A and B are shown apart, each in its own frame.
Chain A
Amino acid sequence: MDLRILRELRDLRVLIAHPHDGDGDELVRQLRRIGCDVSHVWPAAAKASERADVVFFLVEHESATHRGFNYDDTSLTRIAVVNAESPLTLRALMDARVHAVIMKPIRPIGILTNLVLARALQSYEAKLSSKVAKLEETMKSQRLIAKATRIIMAKESISENEAYTLLRRQAMKKRVSMASIADAVARAEELLEGIRNAP
């Protein structure tokens, strides 16, 4: 049973971007009961989310109320507070790429569940994003290495394995990645091509 997310709840910095009214206060009290470090701001300020792990923010028909939060920030858990299911509200929720939604009026029951699920979802999303970024980087390197290998094979009339070994040795000697050596080889070849083909 993985309770890591539950264990970390009391280390969370939670920002509540909601008017100082009954719903806002109820949300603050329940999150404090849970044991989070809570700050409550209104009007919503994008800067305030910089130090937060989780933001609960009011989403109304106009997205203006939550404009400014960085929806691409994979380390920020976003939970929307809404009081309508109108098309414009739904669109604003999708734009904000929220991890959970709680409905007004605020009831204490359900907040912990949404907080935990949102954390789980956000951490999974962050893990996937970083994996995708790494895979893209690897694919790019592989393409460069393959290209450079082909160039060296043709130039030196050696086998693919030998060309690859040459590249790797060079990378180790210069203490750089194989991808950057391969990139240098490919660029040099392009340059030479350009000179050769010049009229």
Chain B
Amino acid sequence: MQNDTLANNRDSWRVGILFSRSGVMRIPQSEHFFGTALAIEEVNSAGGILGRPVEPIAYDPGSNPVAYRELAERLLIDDGVQIIFGCSTSAERKAVLPSIERWNGLLWYPSLYEGFEYSPNIIYTGAVPNQNSIQLARYLARQHGSRIFLIGSDYIYPRESNRVMKELVDAAQGEIVGEEYFPLVLADRSFGETLDRLCRIRPDAIFSTLVGEAGISFYRQYAETKLFAAGIPIASLTMAEGELAEIGGERAAGHITAAPYFSTVETPANRQFNQRFRAKFGESRPISMYAEAAYCQVHLFAQALAACGTTNPQVLAREALGAEFHAPQGLVTIDPDNNHAYVTPRIGIAAADCTFRIVHEEAEPVKPDPYLVSYDYDLDGFAPRGPGQAGARELPA
């Protein structure tokens, strides 16, 4: 309560921002940062919230989970902030979670992750596996086949995502033909041995959960192989427009990403979002799911704050649960059952101009199911047990 008074006695709403502008995660997190900044500017230029502007306090944790915890505590204790927009990886989020709960903050987390978490002090606006992995596995099985090679960074998100992918491939009577892990921070970025093995095995597709620079190096080196020439794709849940630009459009073309948002989504809200983003950050700045989710969650926060008038985490969270926002990706709703977001699953194929051609999108936003463990499905349905799932529509190729 003391913090609330401290923050509210000022003539602005102070919020914390914890996205890395440096280190291995600087590409997606800079996009989180830009999306957050754009939304705050929109809120403020529309007169702020209840007449007061949002005042961001931003720190750069440099992609180091320990720094996330320290800086989260600095925001909560020294700066008297209760609302934090931040973190991109599960390692970062799990590092700050105890501090957020202990000092009673509210974290808005904009990235996809592997599920199996719920904290009353966190709102999760990225996709969980029932909103990206299931759709990706089905797409791969239909379009490319079910002999899948798994490659990932060695931490919780790749390990859990691969567990889900294995179950999905098993259920489709497919086969996992290889599984390799690499350190998150990779000193020697040569994938020579793995690429040789891949060429011998010749899978139908590769599922990559390599993040950061390791992922970019892998895609670049893969472009030199005969598998790339043969059109065998790398599929991912994390490779967005910013990573494509870093890899190089020609070398990334044809690879597949499953995500709720691509810059090429055709909605009126997205056309406006593209225009504003470009006007503010320049024509060449990539626009991705990382920017969009971060943008969306600031607006959800602003709506909730306007309705309840306090940054007290419990009051604000209660207001945010069930809240809707017409985001660039379509309608986003915070699920009151689990604090995660209804998002619209899509599949995109990378094009040479570093954007995605969307080849599949669900007809409606899909309810998040962060604790899904049973994948009872067939190739036509992939109906997970639990909350009802919306139908899907295929887009013309």
B-contacting residues of A (Cβ < 8 Å)? Answer: 1, 3, 6-7, 9-10, 29-30, 32-35, 107-109, 112
The DSSP consensus for interface residues of chain A is helix
Q: Which residues of A contact B120 (CB under 8 A)?
A: 108
User: Which residue of chain A is the closest to B120 with respect to CB atoms?
Assistant: A108
User: Which residue of chain A is the closest to B376 with respect to CB atoms?
Assistant: A7
Beta-carbon contact of A108 and B119 below 8 Å: yes
- Per-residue CB proximity of B185-219 to A under 8 Å, as 1/0? 00000000000000000000000000000000000
Partner pick for A1 among B163, B337, B371, CB 8 A cutoff: B163
Give 23 CB contacts A-B under 8 Å: A1-B163, A3-B373, A6-B373, A7-B373, A7-B374, A9-B371, A9-B373, A10-B373, A10-B374, A10-B385, A10-B386, A29-B337, A32-B337, A33-B118, A33-B337, A33-B338, A34-B371, A35-B371, A35-B372, A35-B386, A108-B120, A109-B117, A109-B118
Q: Which residues of A contact B371 (CB under 8 A)?
A: 9, 33-35, 112
Q: Which residues of B contact A29 (CB under 8 A)?
A: 337
- Per-residue CB proximity of B115-144 to A under 8 Å, as 1/0? 011111000000000000000000000000
Q: Does B370 reach chain A (CB closer than 8 Å)? A: yes
User: Which residue of chain A is the closest to B369 with respect to CB atoms?
Assistant: A35
Interchain CA distance A29-B118 in the complex, whole Å: 11
Interchain CA distance A35-B337 in the complex, whole Å: 11
**Nearest CB of A to B128, in Å:** 12
User: Which residue of chain B is the closest to A9 with respect to CB atoms?
Assistant: B373
Q: How many chain B residues touch A (Cβ–Cβ < 8 Å)?
A: 17
Q: Which residues of A contact B118 (CB under 8 A)?
A: 30, 33, 108-109
The DSSP consensus for interface residues of chain B is loop
Interchain CA distance A6-B371 in the complex, whole Å: 10
**Nearest CB of A to B300, in Å:** 20
**Nearest CB of B to A38, in Å:** 13
Interchain CA distance A32-B371 in the complex, whole Å: 10
Q: Which residues of B contact A6 (CB under 8 A)?
A: 373-374
Interchain CA distance A45-B163 in the complex, whole Å: 40
Interchain CA distance A108-B163 in the complex, whole Å: 23
A-contacting residues of B (Cβ < 8 Å)? Answer: 101, 116-120, 163, 337-338, 369-374, 385-386
Interchain CA distance A129-B385 in the complex, whole Å: 32
Q: Which residues of B contact A3 (CB under 8 A)?
A: 373
Of B163, B338, B370, most A-chain CB atoms within 10 Å: B338
**Nearest CB of A to B29, in Å:** 25
Beyond known contacts A10-B374, A29-B337: 5 more, CB 8 A cutoff: A6-B373, A6-B374, A33-B371, A109-B119, A112-B371
**Nearest CB of B to A29, in Å:** 8
**Nearest CB of B to A27, in Å:** 13
Q: Which residues of B contact A34 (CB under 8 A)?
A: 371
User: Which residue of chain B is the closest to A34 with respect to CB atoms?
Assistant: B371
User: Which residue of chain B is the closest to A7 with respect to CB atoms?
Assistant: B374
User: Which residue of chain B is the closest to A26 with respect to CB atoms?
Assistant: B120
User: Which residue of chain A is the closest to B118 with respect to CB atoms?
Assistant: A108
Tell me whether A112 and B386 are in contact in the complex, defined as CB-CB below 8 angstroms, given that A32-B337, A33-B371, A34-B371 are known contacts.
no
Q: What 6 pairs between A and B have smallest CB-CB spacing? A: A6-B373, A34-B371, A108-B118, A7-B374, A33-B338, A35-B386
Q: Which residues of A contact B116 (CB under 8 A)?
A: 112
Interchain CA distance A112-B338 in the complex, whole Å: 14
Interchain CA distance A112-B116 in the complex, whole Å: 9
Beta-carbon contact of B370 and A33 below 8 Å: yes
**Nearest CB of B to A32, in Å:** 7
Interchain CA distance A33-B119 in the complex, whole Å: 12
User: Which residue of chain B is the closest to A31 with respect to CB atoms?
Assistant: B371
Q: Which residues of B contact A35 (CB under 8 A)?
A: 369, 371-372, 385-386
Q: Which residues of A contact B373 (CB under 8 A)?
A: 3, 6-7, 9-10
Q: Which residues of A contact B163 (CB under 8 A)?
A: 1
Interchain CA distance A3-B338 in the complex, whole Å: 23
Interchain CA distance A1-B164 in the complex, whole Å: 12
Interchain CA distance A3-B385 in the complex, whole Å: 16
Interchain CA distance A43-B386 in the complex, whole Å: 29
Interchain CA distance A32-B118 in the complex, whole Å: 12
Of A1, A3, A35, most B-chain CB atoms within 10 Å: A35
Q: Which residues of B contact A33 (CB under 8 A)?
A: 118, 337-338, 370-371
Interchain CA distance A140-B118 in the complex, whole Å: 53
**Nearest CB of A to B65, in Å:** 17
**Nearest CB of A to B102, in Å:** 11
User: Which residue of chain A is the closest to B116 with respect to CB atoms?
Assistant: A112
Interchain CA distance A7-B373 in the complex, whole Å: 6
**Nearest CB of A to B246, in Å:** 34
Interchain CA distance A112-B372 in the complex, whole Å: 12
